[in-house]
Structure 1
Amino acid sequence: MESLKAQFSQQLTASGLPETIPEEIQNVVSAHWQQFIDNNPSFTLPDSLYSDKNDQLSPEVMDELIHCWAGSDFAAQQCIRYPEWLASLLENHDKLPEFAQTHPGRLQKALDVVENEQDLIKALRLYRNREMLRIIWLDLNRRVSMQETTAEMSALADACIDSALNWLYQDCCQTMGTPYGTNIPGEEPVPQKMVVLGMGKLGAKDLNLSSDIDLMFTYPCQGETRGCKKVITNQEFFIRLGQRLIKVLDCQSADGFVFRVDMRLRPYGSSGALAMSFAAMEQYYQDQGRDWERYAMLKARVVAGNILAGQLLLSQLRPFVYRRYIDFGSISALREMKQLIRREVKRKGMESNIKLGPGGIREIEFIIQSFQLIHGGRDRSLQERNLLSVLSTLLSKHYFSTDEASELKAAYIFLRNLEHAIQAIADRQTQDLPKNSEAQARVAFSMGQKDWSELLNTLEEHRRHVTTHFDAVIADPETTNTKESHSDQWEALWLDQLSEEEEQQLMAQEGFKDIEASRKRLISLRDGKAITRVRRQSRDRLDKFIPLLLRVAAQSSEPDTFLLRILPLIEAVLRRTAYLVLLIENPAALEHLGKLCIASPWIAEQIARFPALLDEFLNLGDLYNPPEKEALANELRQQLAHIPEDDLESQMEVLRHFKMAHVLRVTAAQVSGTLPLMKESDYLTWIAEVILDTVLAIAWRNLTEKHGMPQDADGHLCDPGFIIVGYGKLGGIELGPGSDLDLVFIHSGGTNKETNGPRAIDSTTFYTRLGQRIIHILTTQTPSGILYDADMRLRPSGSKGLLVNSFSYFEKYQKEEAWTWEHQALVRARVIAGDQALASMFDDLRSEILSQKRDVEKLRDDVVDMRQKMREHLGTKPTPSSVKNGEAFHLKHDPGGIVDIEFLMQFAVLRYSSQHPSLLKWTDNVRISEELETVGLLTHENAHQLREAYKTFRLSIHQKALQNEDPIAGEAIAESLRQNVIGVWRGCMDV
């Protein structure tokens, strides 16, 4: 003890502490040390703790002790009162963070000797205080991150609540009987256990050093107790149990408390029953749940009791918290909550509160949780409880920029560390900045700041960032100064307060040209029967939106087109006007929606059919920048990760919305001129590839769970032994906005081999069902439509053939039975998804088939004959009016069109690939033409002419598709390109 005392005296007195430590800190630590010596004169440490022969503790350990005692009177007092705890801390110095993972077991060991409630109260407090000493030591010395501190605090609370509940439940069952009940008529009642829900920071595993714990008590079902003479209801039992649990955790004893308990978030608040059944909870939130309760339930988590039952309850309550669609209807409620926060911030004295004051913790929580409430219903990745985890997801989903997310994260971590520094001093729940100089110096020291002034400067910078982002989120609707003078008139027009002449005059003055058609369409909405059946709230939203729509339309390049193409969307959402709130809140989104609808009626129709696509307009940067294939795959994987694997209906909805949203992005970029034709097709093809890969995985998982895995001919398990081959535009990487998919399914399963599951079936049947399941997922009509039309007619024997063919049969068919046109189709075939080994076999077979030496004259005759049949069946049938108007050229099927170019490429591959294998590398027409030019089979001039015609015609077809027009062009417009193609065709095919 003497050597220890000497060392401490040297380092822990005002004269011996390093000069860098402020005088106030020296005084605090020295006072603690003197009290420690006075109270524990015979205290010694094990020899193993000394780092050298001079009996000196390492400087690192001494520095940590100084930081701990300087920052926390509570920690110092625990060391003084229980010096053996200090000895244990020092002895286990390097292993201190590891104890965070073992609370349940260590606490249960401490409670094994408990015989009555008083013993329980004491044991819990001693365990809590000892662990708090360790946690504070680690936190103030920054040996763990803020997130690790809050996670361990939450784990400590979970263990204390659960251990106390288990002990009290057994004790209550002995004195009051065991509660029994069942929710299934006719079933025998079973014992019931309480479920404890943790709310707020406890629910989010984000508990601070001296936080209340917000709890709710619930139980599965009504019933009554058994095993005692006096029978009571389950509710009475669990209310009494809850009261005892609160007392055990919350009451102040000589050893302090465990956790302060707050029950005010339960249904009906302080006036509600302390414990409610699941059914009563569900009924309450369904009938009376308020917006702030949705906000609170975001973080609800089962922390003790019957965990599985509690998780079932939370899943049943999830629709209350997260609306099925994007919940723009909650914006007004969130804005009201924001105004309440602002008003409270302005209260006198709030400036010093780092939680409730300006730029404080609560504002960061509001920013993050607002996005969860609005988008969490559809984007399940946002259904997280922990704030920083949600922030990371919001960044990855581009709701925030990197700078915004970084500023919020840095501010949150700083504020939470500062909160801990303030609370650690006396183990007191406070978020107010200290006012006396000693406490200020201690907090600055704990935060690693030079002095209090430096800390305040850093704090002010973080607060400023938070306030900026807080002001921006759920901001008041933007206003525009342009033509504002007529905003009242637009409202008067919509509310039928103007004469017909005044309405026409206003529309003419504001730039409408086809006034009669636009006005008639608008009036049909205003005076129609549909609008009389909407709810009051919906009508109010409509009355607010239409004048805004008319004002923005008047400012557009084509007001009439804007209005006429947007109104079907308005009619489609009359019963779901929350979608209009998005556009009210974001006039910039409305302007961009108008631009796209003016540019493309196809886009307008898609959004009117599927209003959920409006969500894409929240982030205009992403709208015009579709992601690359890897990012697409990652996004789809994340969206599906939050859906149970057996919920096929929800998976199909996610797939459909994913496709629609990303096709919208591609078409938006295309019509805005930011995406070249070839890149557009690349993106649309990537979307299909990612979806097909996922659909195969879903279908495979569904079937293997039932039947096990199929076997190949050698008895080896196939995984999956199946490929999806894309033909046509999909194979050629040339998909357009509304293209269907030409598919062929091939497997490598063995004949007469069965799957290895409990419900075994033969492999051929398995793969047939796999193909059927894929088609089902692709083509079933759901509320969001279909994924893709799938065309399977290019499989062996066409519509008469098997849906799924074995590789051996496919090979035999291609070699012995396939027509020339089927080999032409194979030129544009490639594997899209499935087994890599089988894909390699397919590629080898394709090369073998295409590179066969052929009778050139027969090949030419077959190709020309097939081309002529297609022209007769699919080409234009000129009418007098089409000829008169110069619109008689079908861009795809008429002579000189796209199919001529495709047939030329296919003919060349079939004729020359035996001599030039490099022709087999590509499946798209542009790169095949480039390869033909490289090997000298096409002149530079002819190759260039074909590519220019091909790209021009394809671009025109895409543009016409977005205008809902047939792919027929004015002959004069395409004449020169067309004649170039015809010239090359004659040179190659008519010889």
Structure 2
Amino acid sequence: MQISTRQLISAGFDDLERAKRFLADKELADIDHRALVGHLAHAADPDQALLALIRLIPHAPAALELALGPRTAPGFLRLLGASDALANFLIREPSCLEILQEPAPERMHGRSAQELRAELLIAVGADPASGIPPVAAIFGEDGHRVLRVAYRRALLGLAHRDLGAADALAAMPEVGRELADLAAAALEGALAISRAEARHRFEAEDIADLRLAVIGMGKCGAHELNYVSDVDVIYVHSSDRLDEDLAHSLARELAIGISRAIDSAGIEPGLWEVDANLRPEGKDGALSRTLESHAAYYARWAASWEFQALLKARAIAGDAQLGAAYEAMVEPLVWSSSEREGFVESVQRMRRRVTANIKPAELAYQLKLGPGGLRDVEFTVQLLQLVHGRVDETVRARSTTKAIAALSLAGYIGRDDAEKFDRSYRFLRVLEHRIQLVNLRRTHLMPHKESGQRVLARAVRSTLGVELSTAAGLLDRWGDTRRLVRLLHERIFYRPLLNSASNLSADEVRLSPEAAQSRLRALGYVDPKAAMRHIEALTGGMRRRAALQRQLLPVLLGWIAEGVDPDAGLLGFRRLSESLGESHWYLGMLRDSSAAAERLCKILSNSRFITDLLEVSPESAAWLGSNKSLQPLGYEALWGEISSKLKRNLGSDQAIRLIRVIRRREILRISLADGAGVIDQDTVGRALADNDRAAVRGALEVAQSTEYASTPQLGEFLVVAMGRQGGHEIGYCSDADVMFVQRAFDEADQQGAQEQSLRIATALGSLLGRPMVPAIQAEPRLEIDAALRPEGKSGPLVRSLASYEEYYRRWSQIWEQQALLRATPMAGSEKLADDFMAMVDPLRYEQVMGEEQIREIRRIKARVEAERLPRGAEPERHLKLGRGSLSDVEWLVQLMQLQHAKDHPALRTTSTRPALKAIAEAGLIPAAEVALLDDAWSLATRIRSGGLICTGRVSDVLPNSWRDMEAVARWCGYAPGEASVMEDDYLKTTRRSRQVFERHFYGFEERTA
């Protein structure tokens, strides 16, 4: 009978022309095509089912009868359309068709572990009671094939029942349980084969004496295995008679034999990988250990994540008594692991590792590892179990679905949330099962092509009580599930904390004080009692702010907990919220801008310095909602604002306070932009220098106005920036290295002009250095430092331009000439600035360096290293004066400038990094070595700024405490948990930088020779 195109489309066929050709095949010549196509409509992929049927019929003619029988056809064709791998298995083993002769029950009924174990042991010729193979047992390639066929025969029956279940979500836990028991039975059969094969190398009585237990981990241990997954195992052995070395060798042989029987190449393909990498010491550890050896390792060396993995540990094969002893040994270790030092960091690392393992191209298709995927559910449930299972044995379940139910029953998850979480998890697992069934391959990726998505939609169309027959419908449902899982993750972790701290209804979970504090402690809060007080203060009452924060805090608490110091972050958030009260923009930003809210939370828990600044300028938090608002104001804009305020004829105290408020505000803007990644390191240095320049100019205006109010102006005055200030590469709270220059209007008034300029310079330092009100712990004062002037601190604070000219002509030393390399006008008379720079440029750029001068620079540098490094400081860890750090790079750059700026104009810059670039372009130092110097200088600068930003303390030493190191590492762009990586990078980079420095600074003659 001719089948119409409409009928094929209605049945779900995709390739209509191919379907018509297949139906015309001789194997199907004498059948009712309409009835067959009607039955094929039960298959998720009718095209695949029809192809598989045509391929199968020559090997098993009975397949046609199954495909046409009203009772057998739906289940049989559903299987062919769901799994190409099982169809190929039927072609290899047509006798297994008998399993499909009965229709699958609508309600999933699983086979028992004992039944599966006996079936696979009998298949390999072993005793079902003892698992011991007789002398005539099947082993080698034949044994492997028999075991794998028996396994796939059982898998075929399970898939038939799974696909026929009316409610796949309800069936999922039973399917996972049977898959785990089937894997355990396969391992039992593999152990029997391995024992038989071991007779070639070991005595039979020795083999009989060794007891080996196989401990299932992960999903197999939890009784929730996938169709195809690595089976994670740990081996433990014991012997009453064998010596330790022999027992270990035999146990290792048996373990290798198990893997060989399960997964080696053969006529019947391998089943899955037996993965023993969760054993103590991982791949580097012994394949099997005694119970005592396991106990010793876990007591002394195990990391916290290993105990989280052991939560799923279950004896699944081998010696049952030994396996039970292993379970009893690890159980108390698992449930006390949340008290271990480093538990929080370990859990956080595991979460990050999951995300880091995702290939970027796969992220959008990940069912397991992506946001809102299976791992989010499993991680949430396991952490709650580890937190509360320490004292509540009712939540100590291995499987995820049972654990969700237990946590809900015990009151740690709300009933509605638990139901949604459980249903979402089951849906994701069913998707995973249907995808893996196709080729029986380990995958967790949604099909990339629309045709594959459409087939998957048909395969799960009844799992949610709705028809999901289109790819778009499936993707919409999957997207909704992922978003729900992420929302539930936040709600389950943090919402109960709010309910327990506020006067809310009991519709949601209300944790006991002890349970709430345990949960906070597990999330990284060191003082959970204080954290609960902050939560109470934020969410208590009926005001709009409290209502909104009850809504938002589940998310905000999570972001705060990701920081290095969640306690400080939560306290800072509370203070900021109390300062801003009902400000509409603040509440709106938290509600409407998740990016701004996340930035705020992470900055508060990572930066003491910024938190302190926000406390006195809370309105500045609004900048976090806009990258444009975070852009630093340039010098002209800053000076325009300051000068407009000075025109109001304010008193000196009020004027200088406004100037310093503006400067502090801009430091906050720059640091927020820096922390948010909106600006780079070079921009930070320039912005901070422009900010200081505007503040110094404003303070100079105030000082001069006060002075000239009582005494006529007798001359010009100039502030010259020196050091890193002159190079526009300063850090937060850097001193302002300066020199003061004056020039009298009338030579006869020189003495008076000098005294007047001295009063102005002194007043300038006093105005900028006085305490602010309100004061904060890390007050960013601007200290004026004139130590780089001629003769240093012993010389006059202010000199005339003529005095500078005479001094530099007659008495200046090489270090003073070197200091001028960074001189640049900062504030004061523009005419005097031009004349001063005209005098300075020939001194720093046009002099010819003699050998004596070079030796003197080297001598001074060596003296600086020996005398200025603080007592007890490690040279390798000092950021400023240490080996290969800032001082080394800057001294080498400045030596090159003194020697070569005359011939290479690009070297005439006050900034280090542009000078390095010019050095490389001029070929004075190889480009690769210049890159090393640049890396060392940049990293040291970044760490130095990070130290102040994160701790609120000025320090020139690489942090020693883990918390400070971790905070600085994150500020420097390292991933969470990479404090040691930053430390290693710094030590390695500066070590190489030092080698370059020594070669080109101290060994200059040898290089040029």
TM-score range, shorter chain: 0.3 to 0.5
TM-score norm. by structure 1 comes to 0.44
